[in-house]
């Protein structure tokens, strides 16, 4: 009974997190600016200070990616252990945690250990990823045993000491057509008081542009069936295995069901 009560409490907690995430994506549309990713993808972003004593900032990034299939992006996000093969800045990927390191030349370096969950709402046209910073206690609770977190990167020689970030991240994935998808990214995080907002803005804009470009390359590799692409992106081999067929049937079927309804 206790186990069931615990599971119910977890579901209720995650439900609140998902509702809060959706609220962040439907807020004030003002204050956006645009930049181009390394592959020419238009990335819209907004960075604002948040009220309160902790020097928090609110970051939102949005992009529409063409010539890829929504289900392929979801396969990428599903396989955490393969993140290092396509996701820039990831130093470590596992079932429990993902470790990202962001660095801009001489200015600064910051990292984050994260864990999260997905919420399938494809019947209404979106899939949510809710991601939170992960300490040793969080990782132990998820894994059921001790988990060694990656070490913090050295800030030696950097102008700003940004440190390990305790971030609240939400991602919404929306299929727009059989070959296009919209990504919306929201992040709230503290920044050192001496670090100017422009350095964080630079890190996030460049970082998200690179992430979108690498994701498109991995998704196109899945669609092409090219042997060289399979060698570069392990996700191609994984989705071709017979054991993955039920995942493809489920996710691709949900995406197709929503698009056909539209």
Compute the distance between CA of residue 187 and CA of residue 6 in angstroms, rounded to an integer.
28
Average pLDDT, the chain: 78
214-232 burial code (b ≥16 CB/10 A, e <16): bbbebbbbbeeeeeebbee
Q: What is the dihedral of CA 187, 84, 202, 199, to 10 degrees?
A: 80
Q: How many domains is the chain partitioned into structurally?
A: 1
Q: With respect to residue 31, please indicate whether it lies within any of the assigned structural domains.
A: no
pLDDT at 242: 94
Q: With respect to residue 250, please indicate whether it lies within any of the assigned structural domains.
A: yes
Instruction: Assign residue 40 the CATH number of its domain.
Output: 3.30.530.20
DSSP labels, 38-66: TTS-EEEEEEEE-SSTT-EEEEEEEEEEE
* Exposed / middle / buried, residue 71 (Cβ in 10 Å: 0-12, 13-18, 19+): buried
φ and ψ at 55, to 5 degrees? 55, 45
Tally of CB atoms within 10 A around 35: 16
Q: With respect to residue 8, please indicate whether it lies within any of the assigned structural domains.
A: no
Q: With respect to residue 186, please indicate whether it lies within any of the assigned structural domains.
A: yes
Q: Which domain holds residue 192?
A: 36-261
pLDDT digits (tens, 9 = 90+) for 192-247: 666 666 666 666 666 777 788 888 999 999 998 777 877 889 999 999 999 999 99
Q: With respect to residue 57, please indicate whether it lies within any of the assigned structural domains.
A: yes
Q: With respect to residue 21, please indicate whether it lies within any of the assigned structural domains.
A: no
Compute the distance between CA of residue 110 and CA of residue 208 in angstroms, rounded to an integer.
15
Q: With respect to residue 152, please indicate whether it lies within any of the assigned structural domains.
A: yes
* Exposed / middle / buried, residue 158 (Cβ in 10 Å: 0-12, 13-18, 19+): middle
Q: With respect to residue 9, please indicate whether it lies within any of the assigned structural domains.
A: no
pTM: 0.77
pLDDT digits (tens, 9 = 90+) for 56-91: 677 788 888 899 999 999 999 888 888 888 887 676
> Which alpha helices (DSSP H) does the chain contain, by range?
2-25, 70-78, 83-86, 136-143, 197-224, 227-232, 234-240, 245-261
């Amino acid at each position: 009974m206790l186990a069931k009560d615990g599971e119910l409490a977890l579901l209720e907690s995650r439900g609140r997190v998902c509702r809060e995430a959706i609220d962040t994506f439907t807020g004030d549309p003002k204050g956006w600016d645009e930049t181009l990713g390394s592959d020419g993808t238009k990335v819209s972003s907004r960075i604002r200070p948040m009220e309160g004593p902790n020097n928090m900032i609110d970051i939102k990034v949005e992009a529409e990616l063409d010539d890829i299939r929504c289900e392929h992006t979801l396969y990428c996000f599903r396989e955490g252990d393969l993140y290092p093969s396509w996701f820039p800045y990831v130093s470590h990927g596992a079932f429990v945690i993902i470790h990202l390191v962001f660095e801009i030349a001489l200015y600064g370096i910051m990292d984050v250990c994260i864990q999260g969950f997905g919420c399938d709402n494809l019947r209404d046209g979106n899939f949510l990823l809710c991601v939170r910073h992960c300490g040793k206690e969080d990782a132990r609770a998820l894994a059921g045993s001790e988990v060694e977190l990656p070490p913090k990167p050295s800030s030696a020689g950097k102008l700003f000491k940004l440190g390990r970030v305790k971030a609240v991240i939400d991602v919404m994935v929306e299929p727009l057509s059989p070959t296009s998808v919209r990504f919306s990214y929201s992040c709230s995080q503290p920044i050192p008081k001496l670090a100017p907002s422009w350095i964080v803005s630079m890190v996030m804009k460049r970082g998200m542009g690179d992430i979108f470009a690498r994701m498109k390359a991995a998704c196109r590799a899945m669609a092409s069936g090219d042997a060289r692409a399979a060698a570069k992106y392990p996700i191609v081999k994984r989705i071709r295995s017979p054991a993955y067929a039920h995942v493809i049937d489920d996710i691709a079927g949900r995406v197709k069901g929503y698009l056909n309804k539209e």
